Amino acid sequence: MTAMTDAGEALHPPCSGPSVWRGGDLADREEWILRFSSRRLAEIDSALREARRRDLTLLKLTAADFPIPTLAGELRRIAQVLEHGRGFALVKGLRVEQLGGPAASTVFWGLGQYLGRPVPQNADGHILGHVRDTGRTLTDPATRGYQTRAALPFHTDGADLLALLCLRTPRAGGRTSLVSSAAVHNAVLDLRPDLAKRLYRTYYFDRRQEHPPEEPPYADAPLAARPGGALSMRYNRCYLESAQRFPQVPRLEPADLELFDLMDEVAGSPEFRLDIDLEAGDLLLLNTHTIMHARSEFEDHDQPELKRHLLRLWLALPHRPRSDGARDGVTPRDVIRPRNAASQAETNPRRLPT
């Protein structure tokens, strides 16, 4: 039994446009970096006061409850860059230490409402995620990378957009790296066209025990798809390989491992990757269809109150073509799913992590 099904052997054309970039060309430029001005920070403070006045739980807070009339226009422009441009942006200067954890969470959630619809990040239905070391390791099949301090090779997440707000940095390490999925796609096409054909075949991903009991413990999807003509990349080598523990999953072939090796080599090369040392108050936004991200291993502080901590949102774009299996987050275990996806956002109960 082969490891994937063929979706056609014809070579797809190379990707073009602003989503194709190389880190070496962007490292010394700053057009991808924005900074909150004092005026924008004042607008955020005003929106936070309004949100508190309305006394809503976080999950009920909408963009209308977090009014940022001027900044909203800037977020719309950022959204265009995420969807139709280079696919990522770094916004600096949010005063997270001054805000404190709960207020920073409210601000993060409020800003996210202007970019997309938050979706569950795990089978417990958590919508606002916490990226921090819990002492677990990836040898545990129920553990995911964000719960560890281990190095995380280049991968994509399970939503259309990923938003990360850095609250605290580690003692050492934890560097974030980005790479253009379109540039990696084109490099594979150029270097090994025989392997490039496999990008569009179906593979199987481990769901890390985060699936409803009536569904299989793995998901199937191609690594690359072109819904609506735009590239959508889905890649996580750790989950591709750990899915092999299930006897129902077809075996990976030597050529598949060659493909993964080549993708990892290209993505990790200084020419292609862009390294970012996130600082407290940095807001990183990226399109998971066109950007892969990685993280180096980190050494954390001894004091709990100083340990590395990022807030995370997975955001869905309702208008995004869903022919690649969608990026609608993780299906919660304990909910009854509606008959149609359109009603899912209104009927799924979702809880914040504790």
Residue 104: the pLDDT is 97
151 or 341, higher pLDDT: 151
Distances (CA, A) of 196 to 145, 199, 274: 27, 5, 23
Give the up-direction half-sphere exposure of residue 132: CA atoms within 13 A in the CB hemisphere: 19
Residue 341: the pLDDT is 35
> Is residue 153 pLDDT above 60, yes or no?
yes
Contacts (Cβ under 8 Å, ≥6 apart) of 28: none
Q: d(Cα 157, Cα 235) in Å, to the nearest integer?
A: 8
Contacts (Cβ under 8 Å, ≥6 apart) of 162: 284, 285, 286, 288, 293, 312, 313, 314, 315
Q: Which residues on adjacent β-strands are paired with residue 188? A: none
Residue 179: the pLDDT is 99
Q: Under CATH, what is the fold of the domain 23-347?
A: Double-stranded beta-helix (3.60.130)
85 or 334, higher pLDDT: 85
> Is residue 352 pLDDT above 80, yes or no?
no
Question: Mean pLDDT, to the nearest integer, of 18-32?
Answer: 96
First to last CA, the chain: 44
Tokens representing residue 247 in the block: 């006897």
Q: Is 261 helix (H, G, I), strand (E, B) or coil?
A: helix
Q: What share of the chain has pLDDT > 70, as a percent?
A: 89
Which stretch of 30-44, 262-276, 330-344 has the lowest confidence by average pLDDT?
330-344
Residue 41: the pLDDT is 98
Identify the CA nearest to 163 among candidates 283, 10, 57. Answer: 283
Question: Mean pLDDT, to the nearest integer, of 22-39?
Answer: 95
Question: Mean pLDDT, to the nearest integer, of 213-228?
Answer: 91
Identify the CA nearest to 289 among candidates 116, 147, 123. Answer: 116
User: What are the extents of the domains in the chain?
Assistant: 23-347
Could you report the per-residue pLDDT of 245-304, keeping only the tens digit for each?
999 999 999 999 999 999 999 999 999 999 999 999 999 999 999 999 999 999 999 999
Distances (CA, A) of 352 to 105, 130, 208, 323, 333: 11, 10, 20, 30, 15
Q: d(Cα 207, Cα 226) in Å, to the nearest integer?
A: 23
Q: d(Cα 55, Cα 65) in Å, to the nearest integer?
A: 10
For the chain, give the mean pLDDT. 89
Q: d(Cα 328, Cα 248) in Å, to the nearest integer?
A: 25
Tokens representing residue 266 in the block: 């290209």
Which one-letter DSSP state was computed for residue 257? H
Could you report the per-residue pLDDT of 73-86, keeping only the tens digit for each?
999 999 999 999 99
What pLDDT band is residue 214 in, cutting at 50, 70 and 90? confident
CA dihedral 186→188→193→197, nearest 10 degrees, is -90
> Is residue 146 pLDDT above 60, yes or no?
yes
Q: Which residues on adjacent β-strands are paired with residue 176? A: 276, 295
Which pTM was predicted? 0.89
